[in-house]
Amino acid sequence: MQRVDALFTDEEVQYDVAYDPVMIYTEEGEKRLEITAPLLKSYNKNPRRTEFTEGLKVAFYSGKTNTSNLTANYGENNEQKRELVVEGNVVFKNNKGEQLETEKLTWIEKEAKIKTEYAITITTPTEIITGYGLEADEDFSNYTINSISGIVNIEDE
């Protein structure tokens, strides 16, 4: 196998490809999240990483309940750091009807947190909040905005 690997020095050819994969992460027998994507590239060299070059959808679970959903144009999962970085039209929705929009977001598996330093917009049933930087639980149930730049109340007619 080493002689075959030596034939391929270009990093771009040293990955596995899967079309329409479904990846399910479990913890203690419970589904924690499910990732679906049109295309997955898995790099087996250090650092081991998986790229979702044509976008991805992530569904987060607590027990059997789907608590939140994330979509983005691109994602990269670093297996060593246990982090998933997504970017490009990132939308994160929870079951409370709240939605986060940003350009780049990191899910840190060992902390069960999501973070960003980028501009954010959060839409709730009653307001729109804008700011820069955010840290939240992975189900987007509790969050802290680093720098709020505006809050607009939404009125029902």
Q: What is the pLDDT of residue 47?
A: 77
Q: Please tell me the distance from the alpha carbon of residue 66 to that of residue 84, in angstroms, as a whole number.
A: 19
Q: Which of 107, 121, 101 is nearest to 60 (CA)?
A: 107
Residue bearing tokens 């709730």:
124
Query: What would the mean pLDDT of 66-93 be, rounded to a whole number?
Result: 95
Q: What residues are paired with 61 via a beta bridge?
A: 66
Q: Please tell me the distance from the alpha carbon of residue 27 to that of residue 19, in angstroms, as a whole number.
A: 25
Helix or strand or coil: residue 2?
A: helix
Q: Which of 76, 74, 78, 77 is nearest to 90 (CA)?
A: 74
Instruction: Say if residue 11's pLDDT is above 60.
Output: no
Q: How many CA atoms lie within 13 A of 68 on its CB side?
A: 22
Q: How confident is the model at residue 13 (pLDDT cuts 50, 70, 90)?
A: low
Residue 35 CB: number of other CB atoms within 10 A? 20
Q: Please tell me the distance from the alpha carbon of residue 86 to that of residue 19, in angstroms, as a whole number.
A: 19
pTM over 0.75? The answer is yes
Q: What confidence tens digit (pLDDT) does each residue in 24-75 have?
A: 988 888 998 899 999 999 988 777 899 999 999 999 998 889 999 999 999 9
Instruction: Say if residue 149's pLDDT is above 70.
Output: yes
**Rounded-to-10 torsion of CA 88, 89, 90, 93:** -170
Least confident span in 10-19, 50-59, 76-85, 97-106: 10-19
Mean pLDDT value across the chain: 89
Task: Tell me the CATH number of domain 17-153, given options 2.60.450.10, 3.40.50.1820, 3.40.50.620, 1.10.390.10.
Answer: 2.60.450.10
Q: Please tell me the distance from the alpha carbon of residue 139 to that of residue 157, in angstroms, as a whole number.
A: 31
Instruction: Say if residue 82's pLDDT is above 70.
Output: yes
- Residue ranges per domain, the chain? 17-153
Q: What is the pLDDT of residue 6?
A: 63
Instruction: Say if residue 78's pLDDT is above 60.
Output: yes
